């Protein structure tokens, strides 16, 4: 019996036979689906379901539309497969949170959102620059007010 090898290694043959989830599992979870589902717990106690691309910017935008936390002060976390709390701060982190949940047999990834207590980096830089300017003006005033000999 002759075997048709014309589609050997051709992705089109795989996609006809397997679902996107099967293809993702076959590739070791390396391929990302176009949209993923998250269950997001907020500080208020509310829980929201959010569907988005595995993108930190899109995730932040959708969460900030549902909760009253400025994006620059928002901290997103999930619990990994070892029980550690992991901060989500990049597209890779978003994809990893989803992939860990899928490998654990879950339909969606659970995230928690909190308001960061730290001052955002750009605000800290502005405060530091402002303090330096005030110190410079103070030193200049002392030099100008010093009695002349």
pLDDT in tens, 81-106: 999 999 999 999 999 999 999 999 99
- Segment holding 74, helix H or strand E: strand 74-79
Distance CA 42, CA 111 (A): 9
The tens digit of pLDDT for each residue in 45-71 reads 999 999 999 999 999 999 999 988 888
Q: Where are the alpha helices (DSSP H) in 53-120?
A: 56-66, 91-103
Distance CA 10, CA 29 (A): 19
Distance CA 98, CA 36 (A): 7
CATH of 12-118, one of 3.40.50.620, 3.90.180.10, 3.40.50.300, 3.10.20.90: 3.10.20.90
- Segment holding 99, helix H or strand E: helix 91-103
The tens digit of pLDDT for each residue in 2-51 reads 545 444 444 433 333 334 444 344 334 445 568 999 999 999 899 999 99
């Amino acid at each position: 019996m002759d075997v048709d090898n014309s589609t050997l290694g051709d992705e089109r043959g795989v996609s006809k036979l397997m679902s996107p989830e099967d293809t993702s599992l076959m590739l070791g979870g390396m391929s990302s689906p176009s949209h993923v589902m998250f269950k997001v717990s907020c500080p208020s106690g509310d829980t929201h379901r959010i569907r988005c691309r595995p993108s930190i910017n899109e995730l932040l935008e959708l969460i900030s539309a549902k909760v009253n936390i400025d994006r620059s002060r928002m901290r997103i976390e999930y619990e990994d497969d070892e029980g550690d709390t992991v901060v989500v701060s990049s597209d890779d982190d978003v994809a990893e949170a989803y992939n860990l949940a899928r490998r654990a047999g879950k339909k969606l990834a659970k995230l928690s959102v909190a308001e960061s207590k730290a001052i955002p980096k750009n605000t800290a830089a502005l405060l530091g620059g402002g303090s330096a300017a005030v110190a410079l003006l103070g030193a200049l005033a002392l030099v100008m007010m010093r009695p002349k000999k």
